[in-house]
Amino acid sequence: MSKISEVVQRARAAFNSGRSRPLQFRIQQLEALRRMIKEREKDIAGALAADLHRNEWNAYYEEVVYSLEEIEYTIKHLPEWVLDEPTEKTPQTQQDECYIHSEPMGVALVMGAWNYPFNLTVQPLAGAIAAGNAVIIKPSEVSENVANLLATLIPQYLDKDLYAVINGGIPETTELLKERFDYILYTGSTGVGKIVMTAAAKHLTPVTLELGGKSPCYVDKDCDLDMACRRIAWGKFMNAGQTCVAPDYILCDPSMQNQVVEKLKKAVKDFYGEDAKKSRDYGRIINSRHFQRLMGLIEGQKVACGGTGDAATRYIAPTILTDVDPQSPVMQEEIFGPIMPIVCVRSLEEAIQFINHREKPLALYVFSQNDKVIKKMIAETSSGGVVANDVIVHLSVHSLPFGGVGFSGMGNYHGKHSFIAFSHRRACLVRSLQKNDPLKGRYPPSTAKMTRH
């Protein structure tokens, strides 16, 4: 038996012992996870700096704080979530108990992503623990410093049998996906998402796939452009554009394009100074392969700002492209980097048509002071989530489900939605065995009971 099989079997044996199920145990493990984050905050920040050039402030406020808030919210509300939910009864079940009982799925696999390698691993882990599961954690090997840190820290704070970290690249992940799991949550690319879903299908394992796509950003004429461009620039260039819900491209009227460019440039200068390369707040591309891919997307484009890069440090300047052809390579794939193409459309209807002719994105952003524009955009498009007059912030609302649709993913999590994702909602009906049977009419023979018309 391989080492990976041994780890999975140990987790299953621990789950079958029943010790992950009691509410108090779940809360204790969540409290231990919270303690791990607070006690080892500097180590986490150091690993994020090594992988993604994050400073301590960015590491905390763009990643760690979301994990902490999610854990604290879950601890507070879990005693309420685990209660059985009474349901509406039919006339025939008035004397019965009808309710939904949430039970753990079993052994869950959480596969993290490299762009926010701590939060996108720990946040779903918290949901899986809350639901009473054993969990195998597979951090992304691309952000190797965070992956190694998680492998070191998690056994020091959590139950070693129930919660295990497996590190490695494609061979280890391939072997891991041959194992039978009761639930898989994967965050990453659509291509790998298909591989995960194919592997899960062999065991009929349900999945949540948090993927990506090209999240559009429509900027209406009726708009405070200064505020809009400041918010768009923040969301686009945070983590050097390596955010799954970053605005991927801007749609605006041709008459606005120059203004949008100038206001984006001003915001970039305000955030990162004259030279973003010298800014402590500006990130770096995760590896050389992605650096080369991104520089290739800029080639042949009309560059209004940036466009330069340094292969040695994997730095790419905040870049704005204008008059972008929708058929160009930069518009065919999720950019996942600090490159903002602007595509001109002449109306809201044309923007909606443009969005609907492409795969459904993980997020959609609309900036307008006209409520009718916002409502029309929501009503006539489809995306994982929508934010009007800001970007990304829907992720921070525990009560909102976070997830994709179509090529941007399936299923959702965050807050109670994480608890539901990692639980089986079991339909329960409890009936008395009293002699007076209210449903005696259901028994054969039927001929004596048939009415003639």
CA distance 153 to 275: 37
The pLDDT of residue 449 is 66
Q: Helices marked H in 183-334 — which ranges? A: 190-201, 225-237, 257-272, 288-298
Task: Indicate if 223 belongs to the active site.
Answer: no
Amino acid identity at 113:
A
Task: Using alpha carbons only, give the angle 380, 386, 388 rounded to the nearest 5 degrees.
Answer: 95
Burial class (CB in 10 A: 0-12, 13-18, 19+), 365: buried
The pLDDT of residue 356 is 98
- Whether a cis peptide bond, with omega within 30° of 0, leads into 171 is no
The pLDDT of residue 451 is 65
Amino acid identity at 190:
T
Spell out, as residue ranges, where the chain has pLDDT lower than 50.
none
CA distance 390 to 398: 17
pTM above 0.85, yes or no: yes
Q: Tell me the chain's radius of gyration from C-alpha atoms.
A: 25
The pLDDT of residue 445 is 84
Sign of CA dihedral 210, 214, 217, 218: negative
**Pick from 110, 116, 33, 106: nearest CA to 74:** 33
Catalytic residue among 217, 223, 229, 244: 244
CB atoms within 10 A of CB 439: 9
Locus of tokens 């701590």: 118
**Pick from 312, 369, 307: nearest CA to 339:** 307
The pLDDT of residue 444 is 86
pLDDT tens-digit readout, 48-88 = 999 999 999 999 999 999 999 999 999 999 999 999 999 99
The pLDDT of residue 233 is 98
The pLDDT of residue 275 is 96
Task: Indicate if 244 belongs to the active site.
Answer: yes
pLDDT tens-digit readout, 113-150 = 999 999 999 999 999 999 999 999 999 999 999 999 99
Amino acid identity at 315:
Y
The pLDDT of residue 434 is 80
Catalytic residue among 210, 217, 229, 252: 210
**Pick from 157, 163, 161: nearest CA to 138:** 163
CA distance 341 to 331: 8
Supply the DSSP string of 13-62, one letter for each residue: HHHHTTTT-SHHHHHHHHHHHHHHHHHTHHHHHHHHHHHH---HHHHIII
CA distance 423 to 208: 12
Contacts of 274 (CB under 8 A, 6+ apart): none
